[in-house]
Amino acid sequence: MDTKIMNINTLPDITLSSTPARQDSFSQLVCVERWNETADVVSFRFQAGEPMKFDYKPGQFMTLVLDINGEQACRSYTLSSTPSRPYSLMLTIKRVEGGLVSNYLIDHLQPGQMVRVLPPTGQFNLFDISAQKYLFLSAGCGITPMYSMSRYLTDTQMNADIAFVHSARTQADIIFKTSLETMATRHRDFKLRYIVENVTTDTVWHTEETLHDIGCLSANNLRDLVPDFAERTVFLCGPEPYMQAVKKILTDLNFDMSKLYHESFATAVKEAQSRVKQAEMQSTNQVNASASFMLSIGDKKRALTAEQTLLEGIEAEGLPIIAACRSGVCGACKCQVLEGETESTSSMTLTPADIEAGYVLACSTKLKSDVTLSLG
């Protein structure tokens, strides 16, 4: 896959003042508003305790750290707000069957309540990917980064050239429909198209006929809808099957894949799930018998196999660590190897100085010898 990975050396930081000495490292945000975007999608707007500007890049995600039924749960969500309107942050969340955190937020988070978050981060963003002309391809809830980017571009540039093709199940499932259509009306070079799988008869279809197609995105309709797609830089986000299908379409159309950028977060979540499953299976099967290396953290020691990650060892010892994406994307589980040899599959959010100092991402690092680790 020819997807470029940008290196971000500085992460935007949210700091809040005036709260009493708190020892945890999270920032607090207050939910100030919530509303339904569609039947199963809710947007939440957050502010700091006192008016402050949030600094992040359009397309980045933020990690919520929650306590659900007595257990800590961390999930990352792309910010659907834009830093060009900097006094609040917005998350847009879809109810998913069996989705612990998303459904918890939709069922419980109300205006006036506080949540703990880690600062926004992520490389799939407008500032770190340079482009002249944009092609936003999204499906379902994958619209959130595109919406953030679209708002930023239309807020800050009069002539940003954007083609936006969004796929949804039905007309009623199109998130941000009204705002997007307003943007498309006001900006000459903002071309908005929807592709819906099913047209339901009971939904009043307010969008102009010309704005939508029925079916799925294909090479044919992409060529028809966006004739100059080859000149554009593609930003892609959506469910995994959709992303795979689009990549195939673009390949078939001989698109220059070096100009394709996708949000790897969806993949990260999927990998995270399989990794959590693996870890669970390992713990039930008591695989520890084949342990070969010793992980030492303070006065805690745990034997790990060469196949287990540092994160598994840290969590098994019950030590405090935040592992939001569990796939080497979010950078939350950064920790320092004081002694010993390790092998990492990701160092995405680490700076060269971090790496020099021995920092690794616990979720993506395995032991190659006995290791002494610092979580500080």
Partner 1 sequence: MFCIQCEQTIRTPAGNGCSYSQGMCGKLAATSDLQDLLIYMLQGVSVYAVKARELGIVDSEVDTFVPKAFFSTLTNVNFDDERIIAYVQQAATHRENLKTAYEAACEKRGKTAEQMPLVAQLVLGTSKLEMLSQAPIASLNKDKNHIHEDILGLRLLCLYGLKGAAAYMEHARVLGKTDAEIAADFHQIMAFLGEPSVDADKLFSTAMEIGQLNYRIMALLDAGETEAFGHPEPTVVNTKPVKGKAILVSGHDMKDLELILEQTAGKGIHVYTHGEMLPALAYPAFKKYAHLVGNYGSAWQNQQKEFANFPGAVVMTSNCIIDPNVGQYSDRIFTRSIVGWPGVTHVTGDDFSVVIEKALALDGFHYDEIPHNITIGFARNALMAAAPTVVENVKNGSIKHFFLVGGCDGDKSERSYFTDLAKSAPKDSVILTLGCGKYKFNKLEFGDVNGIPRLLDIGQCNDAYSAIQLAIALSQIFECDINELPLNLVLSWFEQKAIVVLLTLLSLGVKNIRTGPTPPAFLTANLAKILEEKFGLRNTTTVEADLKTMLNVA
Residues that bind partner 1 (CB under 8 A): 18-24, 28, 30, 49, 66-71, 108-110, 112-115, 300, 317-318
What length does the chain have? 376
Instruction: Look at residue 39 and give its three-state secondary structure.
Output: coil
Residue 98 CA, chain-centre distance (Å), reads 19
Which sign does the torsion angle of CA 266, 268, 270, 272 carry? Answer: negative
Q: How far is the CB of 227 from partner 1 (least distance, A)?
A: 48
Give the nearer residue to partner 1 in terms of CB position, either 21 or 353. 21
Give the nearer residue to partner 1 in terms of CB position, either 24 or 341. 24
Give the nearer residue to partner 1 in terms of CB position, either 105 or 350. 105
What are φ and ψ of residue 371, in 5° steps?
-135, 140
One-letter amino acid of 194: Y
Residue 95, CB-side half-sphere exposure with 13 Å CA sphere? 13
Give the nearer residue to partner 1 in terms of CB position, either 206 or 301. 301
Instruction: Compute the distance between CA of residue 77 and CA of residue 93 in angstroms, rounded to an integer.
Output: 8
Q: How far is the CB of 101 from partner 1 (least distance, A)?
A: 12
Give the nearer residue to partner 1 in terms of CB position, either 22 or 186. 22
Give the nearer residue to partner 1 in terms of CB position, either 25 or 369. 25
Give the nearer residue to partner 1 in terms of CB position, either 108 or 188. 108
Q: How far separated are the first and last CA of the chain, in Å rounded?
A: 36
Q: How far is the CB of 116 from partner 1 (least distance, A)?
A: 9
Q: How far is the CB of 22 from partner 1 (least distance, A)?
A: 5
Cβ atoms of 12 and 119 within 8 Å: the answer is: yes
Q: What residue has token string 């500007």?
A: 53
Of residues 248, 258, 233, the one with CA closest to residue 146? 233
210-to-36, 192, 195 alpha-carbon distances in Å: 26, 10, 11
Burial 104-139 (b: 16+ CB within 10 A, else e): bbbeebeeeeebbbbbbbbbbbbebbebebbbbbbb
Q: How far is the CB of 358 from partner 1 (least distance, A)?
A: 25
Q: How far is the CB of 26 from partner 1 (least distance, A)?
A: 11
Instruction: Compute the distance between CA of residue 303 and CA of residue 290 in angstroms, rounded to an integer.
Output: 9
Give the nearer residue to partner 1 in terms of CB position, either 50 or 209. 50
Give the nearer residue to partner 1 in terms of CB position, either 254 or 285. 285
Q: How far is the CB of 69 from partner 1 (least distance, A)?
A: 5
**Residues whose CB is less than 8 angstroms from the CB of residue 243 and which lie 6 or more positions away in sequence, other chains included:** 236, 237, 262, 266, 267
Q: Which run of H or E residues covers position 305?
A: none
Q: How far is the CB of 37 from partner 1 (least distance, A)?
A: 21
Q: How far is the CB of 148 from partner 1 (least distance, A)?
A: 25
